[in-house]
Structure 1
């Protein structure tokens, strides 16, 4: 079998997350600068090898003060830990459109195993003859597992920022 390399198409991809704020609304953010090495056997994504990293300084929640706070030692500590990374240990097929992605997520100097459901949209040729693949990765992590512990109590009870972070990652891959 031949090895196929894939690259993320940044104009059709988004590395996003959502966190509850004040226990009742969501704040969305994304990373604008990231890189990945993805290889498959031919065009079969089962057992794909995936290495991914994102630049912490590229975090964007559409609020400059919040972004600065997220980059600080209270959260990501970008000065000491400028990247988050993910290295897949398995990419297992459930059926034609559903996979499970497992691997190690490294953030703020802490590495923990994670597992996420992936919706595989299949392969398609674009109008210029390029082979594309679509992946939708979702899941949840507890930010405290990686030492992102900062919070503030609310007068009404509860906390300002939820521990749960929901990941929403849309990837369009281009066959290299």
Structure 2
């Protein structure tokens, strides 16, 4: 038996270990689970400085890629149907869809596409990217955290993240006068994805 033959099993085993390690650390793609309503995009804005008005977007979709070994390889893409805005008040929602605010006939979609994701703590992330809303694209940062991941009861594998950010309406060309207390909108994103 030659030296090469004697060490062939060793080389093969080492190669398999390296390949397995690479495969385990590769980015994993998840589709956001909107069918089961295990994701939500919520917002709140002050009303006259006296209380909070809350709402959500009922229709959205997208995906995210998560690399637990190298978070900088991760990314997220979300598309929102602006016509699906819901504040639990039909007349107000009609006004919000008008050209005073979202102008949904002209701008039926809003999108967020990440440009960088940085790990900031054990389960916390800084997600930077481009938000396009009302025809305007601006860079925003989302303070995010990993909620968890694991198998589901239906044979799939899921991961979930939550994040918050604040935007100034005027930055997106929405200048309807709501008073100084209502210049900013706070968003909360809860994204649960199913591994593809």
Give the alignment's TM-score, normalised by structure 2.
0.80
Mean CA deviation greater in 135-144 or 121-130 = 121-130
Secondary structure of the equivalent of 2:120?
strand
The CA deviation at 1:160 is: 8.0
2:129 corresponds to:
103
Q: Is the 8 A contact 2:83 2:97 kept in 1?
A: yes
In 2, the alpha carbon distance for the partners of 1:90 and 1:5 equals 16
In 1, the alpha carbon distance for the partners of 2:83 and 2:110 equals 10
Are positions 1:168 and 2:178 aligned together? Answer: no
Of Structure 1 and Structure 2, which has the larger fraction of its residues in strand? 1
1:34 corresponds to:
60
- Compute the RMSD of aligned alpha carbons: 1.7
**Divergent runs of 4+, >2 A:** 1-4
Match of 1:93 among 107, 110, 119: 119
Q: Is the 8 A contact 1:50 1:88 kept in 2?
A: yes
Change (3 A) 1:37 1:9: closer
1:56-76: CA deviation from partner (whole Å, max 9, x where unpaired): 111100001111111110001
Higher relative contact order (CA 8 A, sep 6+): 1
Of Structure 1 and Structure 2, which has the larger fraction of its residues in helix? 2
1:155 corresponds to:
none
Change (3 A) 1:33 1:44: farther
Equivalences, count: 169
Q: Is the 8 A contact 1:21 1:160 kept in 2?
A: no
1:156 corresponds to:
none
The CA deviation at 1:128 is: 2.6
| Unaligned segments of structure 2, at least 5 residues | 1-22
Are positions 1:148 and 2:184 aligned together? Answer: no
Q: Larger radius of gyration, structure 1 or 2?
A: 2
